[in-house]
Structure 1
Amino acid sequence: MSVPTPVNAAGAQRRQRTQWLDARLATSRGRHRLACTCQVLAGWLWIPQAAAIAWALDALLFAGAGLAAIRAPMLLLAGTLLARAVLVWIGQRLQADVVETVLARMRVDLAAAVAARGPVWLRGRRSGALVALSTSHVDATANYFSGYLVARAETMLVPLAILVAVFSVDWIVGIVLLLTAPLAPIFMMLIGMGAESAGRRQLVALARAGAHFTDRLRGLDLIRVYGRGDAELAQVGEATEAIRVRSMRVLRIAFLSSAVLEFFASVSVALLAVYFGFTYLGMLDLRGETLPLSTGLFCLLLAPEFYAPLRRLAANYHDRANALAAVAEIEAAFEGLPEFSWDRLPPPHAGEGWGGGDACAPSTEIGPSKLPPSQPSPAGGGRGQSSSAQSEVRVRISNATLRHPGARTPALRDVSLSIPAGSRLALIGPSGSGKSTLLDTMAGWLPPEAGEVCVAPGTRIALAGQRPWLFHGSIADNLRIGAPDADDAALAQAARIAQVTQFVAQLPEGMDTVIGERGFGLSGGEARRVALARALLLRPQLLLLDEPTAFLDPGTEADLLAALDAWLPADCTVVVATHSEAVVDWAGARWRVPAMTEAVA
C-alpha cells in the first residue's frame, strides 16, 4: 500500500477545499451558469465584430468602394456591439447577485456551525478570530465566484472559437496562437502555489490582528488600570506592520505574474504583426498565394482577444488562491469544513438530549437514593408531586463521562443520575467538582465522551449560568431574546419573580434602560437575575440554574426562592447547582457530585 506524499496530500486538500467552495453555489448554480453563458457569448461575438471591422476598412480604404458598400458591415458591427453590451451587463448583474447570495449563505453556514458546536466549544475560541472568519475570510472568496469561475469558463470556450475562426482564414496564424496559448496555464501553475501560501499568511495575520484588537477593546478598562496602554498600542502597531508586509508580498506576486503574462501575450501579438507586415511587403511568402488585407486585419483584431481570457484567468487565479487560503483557515478553525445550514439545526429548546431523543425509562430515583418525602422548605419549596409526574423521568444520565474540549482529564467519570419530571434537585459539591459541567451536559451543550445523557423528547430547556451573556441593548430586549413575542405582562411577571424589578425601579428608564455588552452597568447579582428572568420567560419544562442566588443578600435570596416556589408549574423540573443551604432546603433533594476518586471507585 503506497503512502501519500506531502505533495499528493496537499493536492488532495486543495481539491477538497475547491469542492467545498463550489458546493456553496448549490442554490445559485442556475444563475451562475447563465452569467458564465453571457460572458462566453459576449466573447464569441468578438468574431463577427472583428469581421465587420475588417470588412468595412478593406472596402472603404483599400477597395475604394463608396459608403453604400459599408452599410452591411456597419449594421453587423452595430448589432454585435449592442448584443455584447447587453450580454456583459446581464452577466455582471447575475454575477453580483450570485456573489451576494453565496456570501450571505456562507455567513449563515458559519454561524450555524458555531451554534452546532455549542457554547462549550465557543468558550475556548477568540471571538475576534471567529468574527474575522465570517467577514474578511468570507469576503476573500467573493472574487473566486465572480471572477475566477467566470474567467475559467471564458478560457475554455472563447479562445477555442477564436482559434477555429483564425484557422479558417490563415493556418499559420492559427499555429502561432496554438503554440503560445499554453504559456499562461504554465505560469499560473508555477506562481499559484506561492500566491496561495502568501495569501494564507496574510489572512492569518489579519485574523490575529483583528482578534487581538477586539480582545483589547473589551479589556480596555483593565489595560488602563494596569498602565499597559503604551505597550498594547505598540503591539497593535506591530500587528498592523505584519499585515502590511504580507499584503505587499501578495501584491508583489500578483504584479509579477501579470507582467510576465502580459509580456508573452504582447510578444505573440507582435510576432503576428511582423508576419503580416513582411508578407504584405513581399519579403515573406509562407502561403504561396496573395494574402487579402481583410484577412490580416481580422487576425490582428482577434489576436489580443484570444489572449484576453487567458490574462483574465491569470489575474483571477490569485483570487482562487486567496479563496483557498480563506477556506484553509475556516477548516483549521472548525477542525474540518463545516457543512451546516439552518434548516438542518434542531428547533430552539427542542431538548431531545444526546440519547437520540428516546423516551427515558420510568423511575423515581435520584442517584442511588429515592426522593425524600415532600416537606415545606424554609423558602416555601418542597411542593408535592403527583404520581403521574413521578412516573416520567425528565433526565437520565447513564455511566456518562464528561470532558471539556481540549482537557487532559474528564471533569466527571461514570456518572449515573435519574431526575423525575416535576422534581427539584440541588447539585452540591466543592468548586470545580463538575456541577456546571453537568448542567452544560443536560442543556445539550457538552456531549458525553462515553455513556448516555437522555432528556425527554420535546422538553423546553432553559439555562441561567454563572456568567450569563447580556447583549448591548435595553434590559427588556435582553429578556425577550428567547421569547421575542412575549407581551409586557409576561415580561413584568418574569422580572418580578426573578427580583429584577427591585433594582430596575431605581434605574432612570426602568426596563428600557440600555446596558452594555456582557451586562456592563449591572452588578454580578443583577446580571444573574436578568438571566433568570430571561429563562423563566421561556416557561421551561427543565430549568437549569447555576448559582442563581450568588451575590444576593439573605433577604433577596428568600424573596427570590419564595417567588419561584409560587410560580413554577408542577411539571417543571429544576436542577440547581449551589453552595447555599437555603437553596438546598428549597429544592428538597440534594445530590453530591462525586469526586473523581469516588467515581472511579
Structure 2
Amino acid sequence: MRPATVSGSPQGADPGTFFPAQNPVSQAIDNEQQQAQQHQRETAQRKDGQQWLEGLATAAAGKRRLAAVSISLSGILLVAQAAAIAWLVQHVLFERAPLADGMGVLAALGGVLLLRTLLGSVTQAAAGDVADAARLALRERAYASVLGKGPLWLRQQRSGELGEVMLAHADAIENYFSGFQPVRIEVVVVPLVIALAVAWVDWVVAVIFIATAPLVPFFMMLVGWGAEAAGRAQLGELARMSGHFADRIKGLGLLRLYGRGQAELDGVAAAAEGVRERTMKVLRIAFLSSTVLEFFASVSVAMVALYLGLSYLGMMSLHAQVPTLGAGLFCLLLAPEFYAPLRRLAAHYHDRANALAAAAEIERLLGGLPAAATAPAAPRATVVATEPLQLHAPPLRARALVLRPLGAAHDVVRDISFQLEQNQRLALVGPSGSGKSTLLEALAGWLPPRGGSVILRPGIEVGYAGQRPYLFHGSIADNLRLADPTASMATLRQVADAAQVLAFAERLPAGLDTVIGERGFGLSGGEARRIGLARLLLRNPGILLLDEPTAFLDPRTEAALLQALAVFARGRSVIVATHSPVVMAWADSTLVLPQGQLHDGAPEVPA
C-alpha cells in the first residue's frame, strides 16, 4: 500500500511533510506593512532633505528675510492699489465728480505702483543672492565630502555622475530658493490680508475666498508627490547618462581602435532617449497640474463675479442694500490677487519637488547628505599619534596594524608592526595579494586601519606614488606642475631626469611639452608611473611611498632610476613595494608580507 501524499507538496519532497499554503490575508497584511514602512522611510527622507536644503542658505539668512518682507509688502499694497482704483471709478465715472477731486488718490496710486515695482526688484535681487549662496554651499559641501572620502572611494565612482552633483543637481535648487521660498511666505500673509479687507467690504466674497482657497494647496500636494518622484527619476537618469558619456569619452581611442564607435553611439543615443522620456514626463506633470490649479482658481474668481452680477441684477439679495459699484470692483480686483500667491506657490512647488529630488540623488551618490564643515577641513589621514613623540623619534612607526582593502571581505594585513628610521630604505615584499599596496595606502592616509595605529613625527610630510597615477589631458609638464604650479622648466627637467621621464620624453616631438590623453592615454604603464614618480619628487616629501616604481622597466632604466632615487632620497626615508630583486638589494631592509617579518637585505621571497 502506497503512503498517502500531501496535496500540493513540492516535487521531490517527503510526501509525509506538510507545507502550509500561504494565507492570502497574511500576504495582504504583509504587503500593507511593507508599503507603510516604505512610506515612512520616504517621509523621513523627504523631511531630512527639507532640513538639509534649509541649512544650505544659512549664510544668507538676512537676504531671505529681506526677500520675504519685500514680497509680502508688495502683496499687501495690492489692497491699497485696488482701493484707489475702485474709489476713482466710483467717484469719477459713476458719481460724475470732477477729475481734479481725485488727483490726490491718482498720485497715491502712482506711488503705490512705483513702490511695488521697487519691492519686486528687491525681492528678485535678494532671492537671487540666497540662491547663489545656497548653490555655492552645496558645491562646497559636496566637494568636501568627495575629498574626505579619499582616492580609494573615488576610484570606484563614475566621474560623470559626480560632476552632475556640482552642475545639474546644484542648479536644481536655484528656483527653490529664488522662487518657492519667498512665495511660501507670501502665501501666508497676502491672502489673509486680502480676505480681511474684502470681509470689511462684503462678507459674502470673503466666505467664497475662504471656502475655495483650500482646493489649490490640496491638489498642489497631490500633484507634488508625483512631480517629486518624476523629478528624482529624471535627475538619476541624467546622472547615469553623464557618467556613461564621460566613460565613453575617456575610452574614445580604444573604442575607435576596436571599431566599437557606432555601437557606443547607439548606447549614448539610448541613454539620451531615456533622459528625454523622463524630462517629458516631468513637464507633462507640471503642465497638467498647472492646468488643474488654474481651473480651480478661475472658477473661484468666476463665482465672485457671478455673485456680484446677480446682486446688481437684483436676482440675489444677501445684503440690506445692493453693494456699490466701487465695492464690487474692489472685490473683483482683489479676487484674482487672492489666488495669485496660491497659483505661484503651485508653480514653484515643482521647484521644491526638483530640489528634494536633487537632495535624494546627492544622498544616493555620496552615501549621505554632506554636512557643513564646522572648522577648516583637515586633510584626510589615518595617521594618529597615540603617545608623545620624542625629539629624535623615528619618522614613522606602525603598531599592530590590521588592514582591509576597500570593498574586500577579509583583512589582508594583520598585526604588522615596524618603524622607519631617518634615511632608511624599506622594501615591502611578498606575493601578489599579500597587502603591499594596501599597507602603502594606509601609511599615505588613504585607508583607515581596522586596528592598530600609525604614528608620524610632527612636521613630516608623506608622499605616495601609486601604480595608477592619474594623468590629465595636457602636456607632461602640465601634469608635473600639479605638484607645484610655480615650478620652473629647469626644476621640471631635474625631477623628470631623476624619475627617468626624460629617457622617453626627449624622444617625443615636443619633449615635456608633448600633450598626452586623459588617464595617460598614449603612454605605457611604466612611462605613466615615472611621470607620477616625478610629480611626487617635485613635492619633496620627507617620506616617499612608492608602489612598484620599476615595474615594466628594462634593467638599464631600472638601475638608472634607483641610482637617481638614491641621490634624491638622501636625508629622507623611502618605503617601496616591489617584486624586483634589484630593488630589494637596493633597500636597506625588507618587510615580508603577509607574515610581517623584518629582514636586513633581500631575503628569499616566494613569487
Aligned to 1:594: 594
Residue of structure 2 equivalent to 1:68: 100
List aligned pairs for 1:418-437, cutoff 5 A: 418-437=419-438
| Equivalent-residue separation in structure 2 for 1:95 and 1:242 (angstroms) | 33
1:122 paired residue number = 154
In structure 2, the residue matched to 1:329 is 361
Structure 1 residue aligned with 2:532: 531
Matched, 1:181 2:209: no
Structure 1 CA distance for aligned equivalents of residues 527 and 492 of structure 2: 16
In structure 2, runs of 5+ residues without a counterpart are: 1-32, 597-607
2:80 alignment partner AA: P
Change in CA separation of 1:231 and 1:503 when aligned onto 2, cut-off 3 Å: closer
1:360 deviates by 6.8
- Pairing 1:32-47 to 2, within 5 Å after superposition: 32-47=64-79
Equivalent residue for 1:371? Answer: none
- Quickly say closer, same or farther: Cα 1:185–1:457, change in 2 above 3 A: farther
User: Within 5 Å, which residues of 2 pair with 1:129-144?
Assistant: 129-144=161-176
Q: Distance in 1 between matches of 2:325 and 2:595?
A: 95
Change (3 A) 1:360 1:503: farther
Amino acid corresponding to residue 209 of structure 1 in structure 2: M
**C-alpha deviation, 1:148, in angstroms:** 1.2
Q: Do the aligned partners of residues 530 and 396 (structure 1) sit closer, same or farther apart at CA in structure 2, a change above 3 Å counting?
A: same
1:496, CA displacement in angstroms?
2.5
Candidates 123, 131, 139, aligned match of 1:91:
123
Preserved CA contact (<8 Å) 1:184 1:310: yes
Checking the alignment, whether the CA contact within 8 Å between 2:472 and 2:519 is kept in structure 1 is yes
Matched with 2:578 is: 578
- Given that 2:423 and 2:569 are in contact with CA atoms closer than 8 Å, whether structure 1 keeps it comes out as no
SS state at 2:464 partner: strand
Q: Report the equivalent of 2:19.
A: none
1:331, CA displacement in angstroms?
Answer: 0.8
Instruction: Find the residue that maps to 2:157 and give its secondary structure.
Output: coil
Q: For 2:225, which of 165, 183, 193 is the aligned residue?
A: 193
Asked whether the equivalents of residues 60 and 130 of structure 2 are also in contact (C-alpha less than 8 Å), the reply is: yes
DSSP 3-state at the match of 2:552: coil
Q: Which residue of 1 aligns with 2:137?
A: 105
Alpha-carbon distance, 1:358 to partner: 4.2
* Residues 182, 392 of structure 1: alpha-carbon distance in 2 compared, 3 angstrom cutoff: same
Structure 1: distance between partners of 2:416 and 2:227: 52
Q: Show the 5 A alignment for 1:217-366.
A: 217-341=249-373, 344-347=376-379, 353-358=381-386
Indicate the SS of the match to 1:286.
coil
The one-letter amino acid of 1:547's match is E
Residues 457, 334 of structure 1: alpha-carbon distance in 2 compared, 3 angstrom cutoff: farther
Identify the residue that residue 45 of structure 2 maps to in structure 1. Answer: 13
Q: Identity of aligned pairs, percent? A: 52
Moved more, 159-168 or 15-24: 159-168
Which of these residues, 48, 51, 67, is aligned with residue 80 of structure 2?
48
The answer to whether residue 446 in structure 2 is matched with residue 445 in structure 1 is: yes
> Which position in structure 2 is the counterpart of 1:385?
none
User: Which amino acid in 1 is paired with 2:506?
Assistant: A
Amino acid at match of 1:67: L
Q: Deviations along 1:319-342, whole A, 9 cap, x unmatched?
A: 111111111111112221111549
AA aligned to 1:581 is P
**Of 269-278 and 392-401, the range deviating more from structure 2:** 392-401
CA distance in 1: counterparts of 2:450 and 2:537, whole angstroms: 30
Give, in whole Å, the separation in 2 of the partners of 1:481 and 1:156: 53
Q: Is the 8 A contact 2:384 2:454 kept in 1?
A: no
- Correspondence 1:456 to 2:484: no
Which moved further from structure 2: 43-52 or 93-102? 93-102
1:139-154 equivalences under 5 Å are: 139-154=171-186
Say what the alpha-carbon RMSD is for the aligned residues. 2.3
How far apart are residue 487 of structure 1 and its match?
4.0
Displacement after TM superposition at 1:445 (Å): 0.6
**Residue in structure 2 matched with residue 208 of structure 1 by the alignment:** 240
Contact 1:426–1:589 at 8 Å: present in 2 too?
yes
Q: Which of the numbers 44, 47, 60 marks the counterpart of 1:28?
A: 60
Partner of 2:516: 515
Cα distance, 1:495 vs structure 2: 2.1
Query: Contact 1:360–1:456 at 8 Å: present in 2 too?
Result: no
Q: What amino acid is aligned across from residue 143 of structure 1 in structure 2?
A: N
Which amino acid letter does the alignment assign opposite residue 354 of structure 1? Answer: T
Deviations 1:259-314 (A, max 9, x none): 11111110110000011111122222112124121111111111111111101111
Q: CA deviation at 1:562?
A: 1.5
Contact 1:396–1:454 under 8 Å retained in 2: yes
Question: Is the 1:109–1:342 Cα contact (8 Å) retained in structure 2?
Answer: no
Cross-structure match for 2:553: 552
Q: Could you say what secondary structure the match of 2:242 adopts? A: helix
**For residue 479 of structure 2, what is the amino acid of its counterpart?**
N
Shift of 1:89: 1.2
One-letter code aligned to 1:535? L
**What is the Cα deviation at residue 255 of structure 1?**
1.4
Give the superposition deviation at 1:185: 1.5
Which deviates more, 123-132 or 505-514? 505-514
Give a deviation string over 1:413-451, Cα, whole Å, max 9, x none: 333332233321111112222211111111111111233
| Aligned equivalents of 1:357, 1:271: Cα separation in 2 | 76
Code of the residue aligned with 2:105 in structure 1: it is P
Which whole-Å CA distance do the structure 2 matches of 1:311 and 1:295 have between them?
A: 25
Q: Tell me the SS of whatever aligns to 1:507.
A: coil
> Residue 400 of structure 1 corresponds to which residue in structure 2?
401
Compared with structure 1, are the counterparts of its residues 595 and 92 closer, same or farther at alpha carbon in structure 2 (3 Å cutoff)? same
**Post-superposition CA distance 1:442-481 (Å, at most 9, x none):** 1111111233233333321211111101122232222221
The answer on whether the counterparts of 2:382 and 2:447 sit within 8 Å (CA) in structure 1 is no
User: Contact 1:360 / 1:396 at 8 angstroms: preserved in 2?
Assistant: no
Give the Å deviation of 1:544.
0.7
Task: Compare 409-418 and 191-200 and name the one that shifted more.
Answer: 409-418
* Per-residue deviation, residues 386-415 of structure 1 (Å, max 9, x unmatched): xx8xx4232333332222332222232333
Q: Counterparts of 2:487 and 2:535 in 1: how far apart (Å)?
A: 11
CA deviation digits over 1:554-594, x for unaligned, max 9? 22222222122122241x22111111122222221111111
Letter in 1 for 2:558: E
For the residue of structure 2 that corresponds to 1:579, the secondary structure is coil
Amino acid at match of 2:334: L
2: CA distance between counterparts of 1:522 and 1:227?
A: 21
* Separation in structure 1 between the aligned mates of residue 51 and residue 384 of structure 2, nearest angstrom: 31
Aligned 8 A contact 1:494 1:536 in 2? yes
**Distance in 2 between residues matched to 1:429 and 1:65, nearest whole Å:** 105
Q: Distance in 2 between matches of 1:332 and 1:451?
A: 32
Structure 2 equivalent of residue 79 of structure 1: 111
Instruction: Give the match for residue 496 of structure 2.
Output: 495
CA change 1:392–1:490 in 2 (3 A) is farther
Q: Given that residues 404 and 410 in structure 1 are in contact (C-alpha distance below 8 angstroms), is that contact kept between their aligned partners in structure 2?
A: yes
Tell me the amino acid that sits aligned with residue 116 of structure 2.
R
Matching residue's letter, 2:155: R
